[in-house]
A and B are shown apart, each in its own frame.
Chain A
């Protein structure tokens, strides 16, 4: 593949679930993301790192539809391997998605935020936690299952008369929610308001709330921000279990290197809206461009590094 040839750090070619190509995002005169291309491997954890202001969250917002990219293509293929002809065909058509087997091909840059979550099954969390603080922990997880529950309630008509089919669907939804609460050890606090939970629990609750939408790709914006080492370790465990037992692909932005290096299968490094490195954690750790971006370098070394980047 062309993509892997460009990434010397990548091991064997991985099949991507999400392919970001030539993504550019401009805010007026400011170029936040500049011609960025990278892949998110299916069933793996990909980390997006870079210094503050590198454009990581902008990339996230483009993928999840909160921003409309200035140019570029973001293709997600679920239910089967990436098929370039299918995506190319979709790109030429005016459509936004195409069914393939049980999943489909989706051009995320053409879709709106809630549509991406509902149809393409991309879930996300936020840098500043966005829980429904006045609703209980359980309610948060039930709201996340809104779309199929609303269909089960006959768009409220069956639900209004208390149909049995809806009550069964709701019981199923509660079962799913409780299973996830068990997973993060918050079952005992199911009836507490989400806003009353400690910070670390809120972080994990937001992650399982996103999981309750049944995503194929989970995007986490700084999941370890503000966590202590013990909580970070718990988070690592949770993310690995999501990858291994649910087969969900993960894309995360993170500054905490203990999290990034320990759990990522693949790392993409951004600086000033451009990709400066892409590869396995070991490769990234030793890449002089990454070290230069993070630690800063002597003047002559900057020139060297710049020459290397440009070259």
Chain B
């Protein structure tokens, strides 16, 4: 093809682009934005000295927003297709790159485990003893709690296909049972940990019974209500839970009876080390790491047992399950209770880690975050959930590190305020480019000849 021809093709493409349509489209959006921004942005309200309402017009702001909408839409119409296509192909490529990782699970798991075990030491090495506190606590421990919660919820949502919007209730049950048992009865953390799991599993069964006959949206609404009921009970039963003020003074976990303090009986003194708060953080980090790995191990094991296959079969088709003699009632209840148990254990850890809990920590937002971790990761995929937890929780924590943006946007700018906006944008992006989550392939639980992952398009999400 000669140069001239190439030029005509290019100009043909340009000519075929419908400028009038694009302008009309962008104009419509600008009008729409104007309509929207008029009641929201056009006036700033304030009180004057006589408590009267004063409206300060902000037409410049409205004009800016409308202009952004117009030119943004126009430029998206011009180059958006190309951008979307390239992101799409990038996302597909990324999926392709991630998918074979499942074939090297053993290696991957080993490397990941070594990295995780080394993580606190690396943090100290790189950031110094003072700087490492933040990296171990806010990043390490915080993310691992959500990884564990995500894996716990993955049993209910990802494997059994039961949409649970109130998972945080079990987290709350675990945290409050630990707090109450240790402050009222003086039970040690190590006793509270399994008890919290058992109590949460019990509540899982209790929730399971009434919702067994529900599916889809109805199930989601009831579980959502259950989460709110638990939270409202915690707020209003002041005699037991101290209401919204929360419970403080929860005993911290000890290292086989050795407290992490500067006293002579403390951990540091016993081992002849110099006292530093890092010891406790190291301990908590390895504890939650062990708990998360336990969750993962149990889930992987259960998936290869009849009960795990029955969960997945239930997600695929519950009527077929019934025709094969599988008791769907017990199958659903086991999924609910085992998922809840891990939530409860994570809750116990949460209570003991902070030494203080209040109903504020168990709002619907938490359920939504945990559920979005499961959905983003790819329902049913253990590694996908872990990656999504790192991205979501680590991303939120990273926003706190962006203080330097103040120098650009002014002193009033607080990046953490944009957390939900970024969440939402990430979700929309996922819906467009990877609707089945980061890792959408399903790994068979049993192999006769050769292991092959199953494409996400064949795997069902469950009807509730």
Contacts and interface: CB of A to CB of B under 8 A. Distances in A.
A225 interface: no
A135 B301 contact: no
Contact of B307 (A142, A156, A170): A156
Given A156-B302, A190-B449, A191-B447, A134 B454 contact: yes
B164 interface: no
A91 interface: no
Contact of A117 (B306, B310, B323, B448): B323
A147 B334 CA distance: 15
Secondary structure call for the A interface: helix
B320 interface: yes
Contacts of B458: 133-134, 193, 195-196
Contacts, number: 137
A146 B306 contact: yes
Contacts of A90: none
Contact of A135 (B302, B326, B444): B444
A172 B305 CA distance: 14
A232 interface: no
A188 B449 CA distance: 8
Given A130-B320, A132-B320, A134-B460, A114 B325 contact: yes
A301 to B, nearest CB: 41
B301 A160 contact: yes
Given A132-B317, A143-B309, A118 B444 contact: no
B451 interface: yes
Contacts of A66: 319, 322
Interface residues of B, number: 38
Contact of A147 (B319, B326, B450): B326
B324 interface: yes
Contacts of A174: 446, 448
Most A Cβ at <10 Å: residue of B298, B309, B310, B312:
B309
19 contacts: A113-B323, A114-B327, A118-B327, A126-B320, A132-B313, A132-B316, A134-B312, A135-B454, A138-B448, A146-B310, A146-B324, A147-B326, A150-B307, A153-B305, A174-B446, A187-B448, A191-B447, A191-B449, A213-B324
Interface of B: 298, 301-302, 305-307, 309-310, 312-313, 316-317, 319-328, 334, 442, 444-452, 454-455, 458-460
6 nearest CB pairs, A to B: A134-B459, A118-B325, A117-B325, A132-B316, A130-B320, A195-B458
